[in-house]
Amino acid sequence: MSAPNITPELQWSIEQFYYREARLLDNRQYQTWLGLCSEDISYSMPGRNNLLVDNRERGHESMIEVDRELEGIDSDGCPIRDENYIYLMLRVERSFKINAWAENPPARTRRIIGNVEILDIAGDEYSVVSNFHLHYSRPGARDFFYAGQRRDRLLEVDGDYRIRRREILMDMADVNVPTLGLFL
């Protein structure tokens, strides 16, 4: 099942956008990266619970669906991050101060973005999911592997895109990485 109007050119241009974004982030060009975000952005990371499967839904895919594990921004639970443009600005500013000690000396990141899938088009807005693998390294031989999914809404602006909504699903069952405060 694919939405109409998803041409190879559209797929290509959205993938190129993500590659550019990944390059900016791994190069620590966070100020430039912030320019890819729409000023009305919702940027969030749901909490993710370890729940027993839903016995009432036995035999149906809903029994073990991913979304029931999430405490997202629309839930009454508690997301890990629930941010707007102001928070992102604050994080970007922090990165360019000498006393952002957790990343001074700077950590290294390298990310691979894949499985880019355009799920829906509504006017000039695209619903896109993508996966990431990210390697994060802090001095002291501390290397960590992050995996997850991004659920985005991209706004088309003058032949380019702006991120208007990003929901980041982390795949770790328990948080054993030094930070989830990265730009993902």
Partner 1 sequence: MLDPYSLVNDDASLISRRCWSDASVYEAEKQRIFGRSWLFLGHESQIRKPGDFVQAYMCETPVILARSEDGQVHASINSCTHRGLPVCRASHGNTRRFVCPYHNWSYSVSGDLVAIPQEKQVAQCPDKSALGLKRVPRLESWRGLIFGSFNDSIEPLEDYLGDMRFYLDAFLLRFPAGIEFVGSPQRWVIDANWKLPVENQLGDVNHGPFLHAAIIPAEANQEIVDYGYSVVTQPGHGATFRLLPEDAPVESVGWGFESIPGQTGGAELQEYLREVHAQASDRVGPIRARMKGLTYGIYPNLSFLWSNAAFKVSHPRGPGKVEYWSWSVVPADAPAHLKKILRANHTSFFGPGGILEQEDSESWMQQLKGANIGFADDRPFYYGLGLGEEKPHADLPGLVSSTANEFYARAFFQRWRDDLAAEVRA
Binding site for partner 1 (CB under 8 A): 45, 47, 49-52, 71, 73, 75-84, 86-87, 90-91, 93-94, 97, 99-102, 138, 140, 174-181
What's the closest the beta carbon of residue 165 comes to partner 1, in angstroms? Answer: 16
Q: Which is nearer to partner 1, 44 or 116 (CB)?
A: 44
**Residues in CB range of 141: below 8 A, 6 or more apart:** none
How many CA atoms does the CB half-sphere of 40 hold within 13 Å? 3
Nearer to partner 1, 26 or 82 (CB): 82
Nearer to partner 1, 65 or 124 (CB): 65
What is the C-alpha to C-alpha distance for residues 49 and 70, in angstroms, rounded to an integer? 6
CA distances from 88 to 31, 53, 93, 116, 145 (A): 10, 35, 9, 24, 23
- Please, what is the minimum distance in Å from the beta carbon of residue 178 to partner 1? 6
Nearest distance, CB of residue 172 and partner 1, angstroms: 10
The distance of closest approach from Cβ of residue 94 to partner 1 in the complex, given in angstroms and rounded to an integer, is 4
Nearest to partner 1 of 45, 163 (CB atom) = 45
The residue type at 150: R
Rounded Cα distance between 130 and 152, Å, is: 8
